[in-house]
Structure 1
Amino acid sequence: MKARAFAYVRPRTLKEAHAAFDAAQGDASFISGGQSLVPALAMRLQAPQLLVDLAGLDQLRGVRLEGETLRIGALTRHAETLTEPLIRRHAPLLAAAAPFVAHPAIRNRGTLGGSVALADPASEFPAMMLAMGAQMEISGPEGLRRVPADEYFQDLYQTAIAPGEILIALHVPAAGSSHCWAFDELARRRGDYAMVGGGMMAERAGDGLRGVRIALFSVGPTPVRARRAEAVLEGRAPDAAAIAEAQRALDGDIDPMDDAEIPASLRRHLARVLLGRLLAKLEAPQ
């Protein structure tokens, strides 16, 4: 199939981008890397009359440290999360997840903001925003606002972004010397969507952990915080007893659905296996 005919505009400012969307009376789509939108256009799953290309907006570019927060522009490409020194140092969970995202050709074009805005529940980066406790900076006709990751993901492909709003940056608490992290996923082949995946962040507090955040993907309609498992681990060393208890608690955190390829019982089992791997990785030097 081919995409429906559409008009195209490349604004120079956020104000121009919002004006273009309004002029189309909502029959418009924003595009950045296009790795999700272009296939949807080709299959006519989306058929807007106007494409608003965000690639020329400087407000969506750049990575910089602002106090104890790392601001990552939404147009940052997947591949840059592997090479950008500030991301590797202050948001290492993103760098750990990046090699698992699709394939090099997609990572070279896809943008971090595009992935988080789409909020595919089987994608790595949205879940890592949840694990890191990031905030999403969103631009709308009324100005800028920030939404915590815990409030941002609402339902299947539904986020706190309202029609006509633009995700412009991701604000991630900067990891320090006391932080530890781990990422892993279980997939049939490298580059395939994961059967289950996840990442976690925590701080070392003596022999124990504090501020534990665990986020899983491919286990529901949105990325999922494993809050019961987090509570089990808070203040404890990730030894065999704590890991086993956290794995049991995980059953109360996730409610995967059966599908044609993977029954819910298998996803639950794989999630427990994955959690054990994440906690084992925390023991290794990062």
Structure 2
Amino acid sequence: MIPAAFDYAAPTTVDEAVRALSEAGEDAKVLAGGQSLLPVLRMRLAAPSVVIDLGRIPELRGIRDDGDALVIGAMTTHYDVQRDQLVAEHAALLARATDTVADPQVRHRGTFGGSLAHADPAGDLPAPALALDAEMVIAGPGGRRTVPAAEFFQDFFTTSLAANEILVEVRVPKHTGWRAHYEKFNRVAQAWSMVAVAVTVRTEGDTIADARIALTNMAAIPVRATAVEQALIGRKAEAETIRAAAAHAAEGTSPTPDGNADVEYRQELARVLTGRAVSAVVSA
């Protein structure tokens, strides 16, 4: 299908982009990588009056070291995140999760910030961002503000971004030396995950000193598996410990049933995948 007619703007600075959004009002869409927006436009599920393309704003791209955190520009592609040495060293969970996103074509065009701002509950990057306590830096008419990942995701395809704001960059606290794994279950290759588990763990000898675990597609937003974390921290990285901890994975979740799986099946998947992911991490 062919999209409905719309005006097109391609600002070259963040200020220009914010101004264009403010002038367009709520009847505008922001184009990042376009891997989610373009199909929606073609199917006419959205018909904005203006599409604002962020692709010509250089400051929105790149990854840099900022002391105790990495700063990832919102327009940095999945491919660049996946291959970046800083990410591999200090935020391995992001590299692991990004490696599972769709296919190479999508990873070359899709963007890190675009995926987070889209807030698909089955998307692969919100849960790792939550597990790593990432912070979203948002620009709007009143300047910039920072929102933690735990507050950024609000509902299905809904974030704390206002209609006249854009996601500029993401600050990811360094987890240097932490092991990481992203365990994803889907029915066919390259499909959205039915359930996925993001795990990063810090060990001291054979003891789990700290653990961060978040679940994909187990609620309208990514959720932390805090009961699993608490059952792991301070204990030996043994099979029985992991099995007992993983049994708590579905606690506090509210998965949505659909044609792929009902609630009980997704809850069981969460438990099984959590056990697999933690086992993979501690045995690495």
Q: Structure 2-normalised TM-score? A: 0.95
Q: Name structure 2 gaps, 5 residues minimum.
A: none
Q: For 1:126 and 1:211, locate their aligned partners in 2 and report how far apart those are by CA, in whole Å.
A: 20
Q: For 2:253 and 2:239, locate their aligned partners in 1 and report how far apart those are by CA, in whole Å.
A: 22
Aligned partner of 1:198 in structure 2 is: 197
Compared CA separation, residues 236 and 37, structure 1 to 2 (3 A): same
Q: Deviations over 1:47-70 (max 9, x none)?
A: 111111111112211110000100
Equivalences for 1:187-226 in 2 at 5 Å?
Answer: 187-226=186-225
* Range that drifts further, 47-56 or 234-243: 234-243
Aligned partner of 2:114 in structure 1 is: 114
Aligned partner of 2:267 in structure 1 is: 268
* Partner amino acid, structure 2, of 1:3: P
Counterpart secondary structure, 2:44: coil
Aligned partner of 1:105 in structure 2 is: 105
Aligned residues: 284
Q: For 1:7 and 1:80, locate their aligned partners in 2 and report how far apart those are by CA, in whole Å.
A: 30
* Partner amino acid, structure 1, of 2:244: E
Aligned partner of 2:235 in structure 1 is: 236
Whether the aligned pair in 2 keeps the contact of 1:227 and 1:253 (CA below 8 Å) is no
* Partner amino acid, structure 1, of 2:203: R
Cα root mean square deviation, aligned: 1.4
Quote how far apart the aligned CAs of 1:101 are: 0.7
Q: For 1:237 and 1:142, locate their aligned partners in 2 and report how far apart those are by CA, in whole Å.
A: 49
Compared CA separation, residues 214 and 35, structure 1 to 2 (3 A): same
* Partner amino acid, structure 2, of 1:266: Y
Equivalences for 1:70-81 in 2 at 5 Å?
Answer: 70-81=70-81
Aligned partner of 1:255 in structure 2 is: 254
Equivalences for 1:38-117 in 2 at 5 Å?
Answer: 38-117=38-117
Aligned partner of 2:27 in structure 1 is: 27
Equivalences for 1:134-145 in 2 at 5 Å?
Answer: 134-145=134-145
Query: Where do 4+ consecutive residues of structure 1 move more than 6 Å?
Result: none
Q: For 1:100 and 1:67, locate their aligned partners in 2 and report how far apart those are by CA, in whole Å.
A: 28
Q: For 1:103 and 1:180, locate their aligned partners in 2 and report how far apart those are by CA, in whole Å.
A: 24
Q: Deviations over 1:176-224 (max 9, x none)?
A: 13x2221111112221111211111222234322332111112221111
* Partner amino acid, structure 2, of 1:241: E
Q: For 1:184 and 1:145, locate their aligned partners in 2 and report how far apart those are by CA, in whole Å.
A: 32
Counterpart secondary structure, 2:20: helix
Identity percentage of aligned residues: 40
Counterpart secondary structure, 1:120: coil
Q: For 2:256 and 2:30, locate their aligned partners in 1 and report how far apart those are by CA, in whole Å.
A: 31
Q: For 1:261 and 1:56, locate their aligned partners in 2 and report how far apart those are by CA, in whole Å.
A: 39
* Range that drifts further, 181-190 or 141-150: 181-190
* Partner amino acid, structure 2, of 1:273: V
Quote how far apart the aligned CAs of 1:25 are: 2.8
* Partner amino acid, structure 2, of 1:83: R
Q: For 2:11 and 2:257, locate their aligned partners in 1 and report how far apart those are by CA, in whole Å.
A: 44
* Partner amino acid, structure 2, of 1:94: L
* Range that drifts further, 252-261 or 7-16: 252-261
Counterpart secondary structure, 2:146: strand
